[in-house]
Structure 1
């Protein structure tokens, strides 16, 4: 369930936090991952994020098969159990993007969502300038369902944020 063609999903480890902290201070990573201003996370902020657990959140480290290298993080969060809906997210370190690791990790997460968590729907948001992520989500069968018009401003320009969704019945992994 946690091994794909290129990556495996594991628990997050304390030693992963240093890479995660560094990536959050890089524009290419941080501006694709969330809408917050870019900033270096303190050790405490990263540790708080790392230790934040609930029955609504399932977070995994992405690692290559056979190695312990921390490549990124993926999660199903804020699950509404009554409705069987969860938010899906992924963030790969800059040096691991564009090699098919993200698709492999997302396929594992969808399989986990449908077959282990028994979710009905996964949803995610993505900024209009993150074309590689949009292409990946659409390749995985996510459908664009809405637009948050001019949601954020970066470098003096307004950008839309798209809402994508996928139902368990639309997945061949189910």
Structure 2
């Protein structure tokens, strides 16, 4: 369930945190990952995040099959169990973007959501300027369902944030 052709999903580890903290201070990563200002996450805050334990959140590290390198974090979070709905959170390190590993990790995560957690709906948000991510989501069958107009301001310009969703009953090309 957690092994693909090139990557595997594992638990997050304490040794992953320095890389994750570094990524969050990089503009290219942080500006695609969330709407917060770019900053390095304090070590204590990162450790607390790692050790959060909730039945509403399932977080995974992405690693290549052949070693323990930390490539990114994929998660199903804030699950509303009574409605069987979860939010996807996705963060792939810049060295691994464009390699197909993000798409493969999404497929593994969706398989887990549908077939292990028995979720009915997955949803996510993405900023309008993140064209590569939008292409992946649409390729995987996510549908654009809404627009948060001028949600975010970066470098003096306003940008929309899109809401995408996918139902378990909708076909997938994988």
TM-score (normalised: structure 1) = 0.98
Return the offset for 1:19: 0.2
Q: What is the aligned partner in structure 2 of residue 79 from structure 1?
A: 79
CA deviation string 1:33-66 (max 9, x = no partner) = 0000000111111111111120000000000112
Return the offset for 1:171: 3.5
Which aligned pairs between 1:4-15 and structure 2 lie closer than 5 A? 4-15=4-15
Structure 1 stretches of at least 4 aligned residues deviating more than 2 Å after TM superposition: 171-174
Stretches of structure 1 lacking an aligned partner (at least 5 in a row)? none
CA deviation string 1:46-104 (max 9, x = no partner) = 11111112000000000011210000000000000000000012111110000000000
- Counterpart CA distance in 1 for 2:142 and 2:7 is 21
Q: What is the aligned partner in structure 1 of residue 33 from structure 2?
A: 33
TM-score (normalised: structure 2) = 0.98
Stretches of structure 2 lacking an aligned partner (at least 5 in a row)? none
3-state secondary structure, aligned to 2:159: strand
Q: What is the aligned partner in structure 2 of residue 18 from structure 1?
A: 18
Does residue 168 of the first structure (1) align with residue 160 of the second (2)? no
3-state secondary structure, aligned to 1:4: coil
Aligned residues: 174
Q: What is the aligned partner in structure 2 of residue 42 from structure 1?
A: 42
Cα RMSD over matched residues? 1.2
